């Protein structure tokens, strides 16, 4: 059976028939079904965070490893009282400043309200409050917390539009909400607040510098290779197309090492103003207007990887952006998509 699609755009939220659609979606969640919902970062595959059978449907549909915890989504801070220990006023300051928005906070878990497989049997839980108007309205209408990883097959590029969800999961999940695309395009920043100083478990659009400016104290950068991940995105290869992908570190204009001698068909993902450096005959996808268009590149990255995945190219090369606070999350996802396969220029 095909996945059910509800069309709910932002400008339709106050329509009479939207209430009926929201009622249907709530009923689906209540009966343990899973639904693709929009957020400002990527589309999420949501299920009742209290229902272990619903959570297992998420893991099964995605093919996701069971030790990879899920982020719990809420519509109000008051919901945290039901399942977290929130004692530090500094965390509340960050929530007031950045929520709703693309940041998740790892907090100590309280009680047994959440299903054990939601948090991968950890004693902590990552929580966020999305700002996408339709996603937020769904959470508010449902009333209980929803666990929601990205709505894609595990390891593949995350979905930034509902059609990406259909491409990956049609027939595998109960439904998906067709709404506006994600505006950020990269998953949320995840801040571990169970240790001090706080530590970024996964970089996102809210940077270390932005957090420190609010806290007025140091936040530690993320670490890789955790034995047991406490946040999505810490341990496994993610966001990868089926073809081998290499990062051209230092950028396309600085590199002469793209192999054009063989019979393989080459694909290149890079800023538009680097098109002139693309080898003749290569399949080119423009990621953004220029090397400085970091937000545009982040918003378009997963869609570009998905287009390459569907193409007939044999190998893919992707532009490596200059490393700074604004590109940290973008380059984190690019390196993970490539499995850290990097081509360095001799002059860098």
Binding site, annotated residues for ATP:
64, 150, 158, 202, 239
Residue 302 and residue 294 in contact, taking contact as beta carbons nearer than 8 Å: no
Give kind and range of the element (H or E) at residue 201: strand 199-202
Q: Which residues contact 214 (CB under 8 A, 6 or more apart)?
A: 93, 94, 97, 98
Angle at 336 between CA 213 and CA 285, to 5 degrees: 100
149 secondary structure, DSSP code? -
State how far the Cα of 30 lies from the Cα of 146, in Å rounded to an integer. Answer: 11
State how far the Cα of 285 lies from the Cα of 103, in Å rounded to an integer. Answer: 29
Task: Mark the binding-site residues, compressed into ranges.
Answer: 41, 64, 68, 73, 128, 148, 150, 158, 188, 202, 239
Q: How many helices (H) and strands (E) does the chain have?
A: 8, 15
Task: Mark the binding-site residues for L-threonine, compressed into ranges.
Answer: 41, 68, 73, 128, 148, 188
Nearest to 153 by CA among 173, 174, 168, 170: 168
State how far the Cα of 24 lies from the Cα of 255, in Å rounded to an integer. Answer: 53
Read out DSSP for 8-60?
--GGGTTSHHHHHHHHHHHHHHHTT--EEE--SSS-EEEEETT-HHHHHHHHH
313 secondary structure, DSSP code? -
Query: Which burial class, exposed, middle or buried, applies to 81 when counting CB atoms under 10 A from its CB (0-12, 13-18, 19+)?
Result: exposed
């Amino acid at each position: 059976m095909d996945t059910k699609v509800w069309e709910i755009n932002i400008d339709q939220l106050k329509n009479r028939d939207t209430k009926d659609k929201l009622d249907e979606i709530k009923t689906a969640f209540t009966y343990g079904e899973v639904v693709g919902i929009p957020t400002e970062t990527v589309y999420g595959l949501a299920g009742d965070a209290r229902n272990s059978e619903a959570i297992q449907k998420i893991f099964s549909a995605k093919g996701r490893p069971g030790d990879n915890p899920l982020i719990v989504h809420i519509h109000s801070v008051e919901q945290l009282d039901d399942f977290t220990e929130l004692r530090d006023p500094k965390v509340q300051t960050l929530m007031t400043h950045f929520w709703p928005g693309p940041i998740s906070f790892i907090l100590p878990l309280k009680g047994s309200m959440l299903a054990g497989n939601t948090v991968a049997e950890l004693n902590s839980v990552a929580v966020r409050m999305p700002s996408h108007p339709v996603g937020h309205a769904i959470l508010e209408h449902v009333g209980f917390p929803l666990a929601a990883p990205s709505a894609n097959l595990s390891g593949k590029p995350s979905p930034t539009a509902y059609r990406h969800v259909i491409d990956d999961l049609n027939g595998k999940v109960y439904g998906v909400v067709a709404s506006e695309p994600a505006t950020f395009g990269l998953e949320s920043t995840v801040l571990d607040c169970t240790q001090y100083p706080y530590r970024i478990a996964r970089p996102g659009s809210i940077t270390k510098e932005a957090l420190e400016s609010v806290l007025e104290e140091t936040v530690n950068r993320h670490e890789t290779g955790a034995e047991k991940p406490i946040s999505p995105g810490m341990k496994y290869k993610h966001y990868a197309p089926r073809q081998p992908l290499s990062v051209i570190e230092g950028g396309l204009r600085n590199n002469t090492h793209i192999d054009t001698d063989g019979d393989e068909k080459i694909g290149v993902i890079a800023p538009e103003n680097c098109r002139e450096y693309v080898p003749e005959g290569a399949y080119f996808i423009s990621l953004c207007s220029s090397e400085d268009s970091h937000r545009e590149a982040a918003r378009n990255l997963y869609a570009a990887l998905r287009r390459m995945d569907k193409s007939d190219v044999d190998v893919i090369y992707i532009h490596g952006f200059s490393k700074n606070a604004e590109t940290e999350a973008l380059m984190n996802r690019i390196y993970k998509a490539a499995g850290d396969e990097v081509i360095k220029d001799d002059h860098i």
